[in-house]
Amino acid sequence: MINKRKPVPKTQREISISHQEPYNPPDGSPGFSPTGNPNPVNLTNRADQVSFKGDTSKAYTIGIQDIDEAIMYYFQNVIQPSVYQNGERIAVPVVYGSPEKWKSIQKDGYYRDLNNRIMAPLLVFKRSTLTKDRSITNKLDANNPHNIAVIGQKYSKKNEYSKFNILNGVKPNVTYYTTVVPDYLTINYECVAFTYYNDQLNKIVEAIEYASDSYWGDPERYKFKATINSFNTTVDLTENSERLVKSTFTLNVYGYIIPDILQRDLKAARKFSESTKITFGLETTGGSVDAFTATTSPSTPSNISIANIFDSQNITNITNVNTVINTDALTYLNVNKAIMASTVTSNTAVFAAAFYAAPSGLPSTSKTSFTYFVNGQLIEPAAITTFVDNNNGTCTLTINTTELGFTLVGTDEVVAIGKFA
């Protein structure tokens, strides 16, 4: 019997990429690299596809129902509303207002039990509105999230603590898990408290008001900040009915959700580890051993130790390293400014900037110290005739229009990136 596999729907990004064909410019096109397509298709990196087999860490998920359960938990287990009636302390039941229950409460002004008796005291709450808060964070693209959270896990079965590792200087390899940033929401709950007397209602309102502006929820699961701004109290006196005192208030909860959906699973829980280093030593057995001396003397300053030179014979490694760092050279190498030409003619472009002078020991600043673009397209080095500093705070670029394939106009945007002062 053939096992029919349920098809997995593609994301909007996968559908879009499948209809894209990268542009392949003809040979010799100006502004394009002659070695390959400038718009390569994104290939899957197998190094990012780490198995979760035997891993106890799963994708993080939190939904709207988890927030509802956090509010119910806090009402029942932390606030624990209660009243005194006939000398006895009575716990106030807390009920979530399903559509049927809430419609009955709105129509009659109270809630009846299965025996058609009015239930009081009682506390009922219902989720009314849900508003997204974009001022905290944003995924940028739900199908391909760019903002993620990274959590490190130092201990695992493959990375157990060992005193032998400490003696040998072996450092633990940290495993990291990534998850998408949540969507932050403001959720409003409509709440109604029913009692027979005002003094009973006062006790409930006092307990709930005292818990406002704090974090509600189960300490072992999720907690969310909740605020209450006002309480509206009314007394219902209906003929041939019981007297009821009720207070209505709006509970504002600042929460967040990470839904359990396919788009989340594509990017939600990825696992990667720190880079590790393997050092190989040298061992020889038997036979005669000849002496071999390797001397390494770098010609340029460096603060990185040079690797040992190995041979199948006996080795003596002598390394001379110059640790003096030329700060002027580092500053010059880090300069990389982009300047747009202020004046453009048919074959020249004038920039309102001067060359950054190269320090002693480095080649002087010249046309090869810059990269040039016209209207966003790269100008090949063969099309650059000269680029000189005018010694008056400006520099002039001269272009070979024959190599470029066209002449410039005054509206062209010519940009140079490189060693500008």
Q: Are 188 and 252 in contact, with CB atoms under 8 Å apart? A: yes
Rounded Cα distance, 375 and 31, in Å: 10
Average pLDDT of the residues in 310-322: 45
Pick the closest to residue 406 from 368, 360, 374, 362 (CA basis). 374
Q: Give pLDDT, residue 183.
A: 87
Instruction: Report yes or no on 353 lying in a domain.
Output: yes
Please write the tens of the pLDDT for every residue from 359-407. 888 888 999 899 999 988 888 888 999 999 998 989 999 999 888 888 8
Q: Are 351 and 342 in contact, with CB atoms under 8 Å apart? A: yes
- pLDDT tier at 265, thresholds 50, 70, 90: low
Instruction: Report yes or no on 172 lying in a domain.
Output: no
Lowest mean pLDDT among 9-23, 221-235, 349-363: 9-23
Is residue 350 domain-shared with residue 227, that is, in the same domain?
A: no
Rounded Cα distance, 391 and 158, in Å: 64
Beta carbons within 8 Å of 41's beta carbon, 6+ residues apart: 17, 22
Q: Give pLDDT, residue 195.
A: 86
Instruction: Report yes or no on 273 lying in a domain.
Output: no
Instruction: Report yes or no on 406 lying in a domain.
Output: yes
pLDDT surpasses 80 at 26: no
Pick the closest to residue 378 from 2, 10, 25, 1 (CA basis). 25
Rounded Cα distance, 76 and 250, in Å: 18
Is residue 206 domain-shared with residue 353, that is, in the same domain?
A: no
Is residue 113 domain-shared with residue 188, that is, in the same domain?
A: yes
- Domain range spanning residue 412? 327-418
Coil vs helix vs strand at 189: strand
Q: Give pLDDT, residue 68.
A: 92
DSSP letters for 85-151: ETTEEEEPPEEE--HHHHHHHHHHSS-B-TTSPBP-SEEEEEEEEEEE-TTS---S-SSS---EEEE
Q: Are 125 and 178 in contact, with CB atoms under 8 Å apart? A: no
Instruction: Report yes or no on 393 lying in a domain.
Output: yes
Give the Cβ contact number of residue 194 at 10 Å: 24
Q: Are 188 and 209 in contact, with CB atoms under 8 Å apart? A: no
Is residue 365 domain-shared with residue 232, that is, in the same domain?
A: no
Instruction: Report yes or no on 38 lying in a domain.
Output: no
Is residue 335 domain-shared with residue 394, that is, in the same domain?
A: yes
pLDDT surpasses 50 at 304: no
Is residue 382 domain-shared with residue 312, that is, in the same domain?
A: no
Tell me which residue has tokens 């040979």: 27
0.75 cut: is pTM over it? no
Which residue type, as a one-letter code, is found at position 95?
Answer: V
CB-based contacts of 35-41 (< 8 A; 24+ apart in sequence): 41/17
What is the CATH number for 238? Answer: 3.30.2000.40
Is residue 95 domain-shared with residue 200, that is, in the same domain?
A: yes
- The Cα angle at residue 68 between residues 66 and 72, in degrees rounded to 5: 115
Residue 323 token pair: 């640790």
pLDDT surpasses 80 at 70: yes
Give the total number of structural domains in the chain: 3
Rounded Cα distance, 255 and 186, in Å: 6
Residue 207 token pair: 């307990």
Q: Are 193 and 121 in contact, with CB atoms under 8 Å apart? A: yes
Q: Give pLDDT, residue 180.
A: 80
Q: Are 194 and 120 in contact, with CB atoms under 8 Å apart? A: yes
Among 325, 345, 378, identify where a domain stops: 325
Instruction: Report yes or no on 8 lying in a domain.
Output: no
Among 212, 242, 257, identify where a domain stops: 257
Is residue 301 domain-shared with residue 341, that is, in the same domain?
A: no
Instruction: Report yes or no on 126 lying in a domain.
Output: yes
Lowest mean pLDDT among 63-67, 79-83, 300-304: 300-304
Is residue 321 domain-shared with residue 336, that is, in the same domain?
A: no
Q: Are 23 and 36 in contact, with CB atoms under 8 Å apart? A: no
What is the CATH number for 391? Answer: 2.40.10
Is residue 374 domain-shared with residue 412, that is, in the same domain?
A: yes
Is residue 193 domain-shared with residue 243, that is, in the same domain?
A: yes
Is residue 207 domain-shared with residue 130, that is, in the same domain?
A: yes
Residue 179 token pair: 């998850």
DSSP-assigned letter for residue 335: -
Coil vs helix vs strand at 258: strand
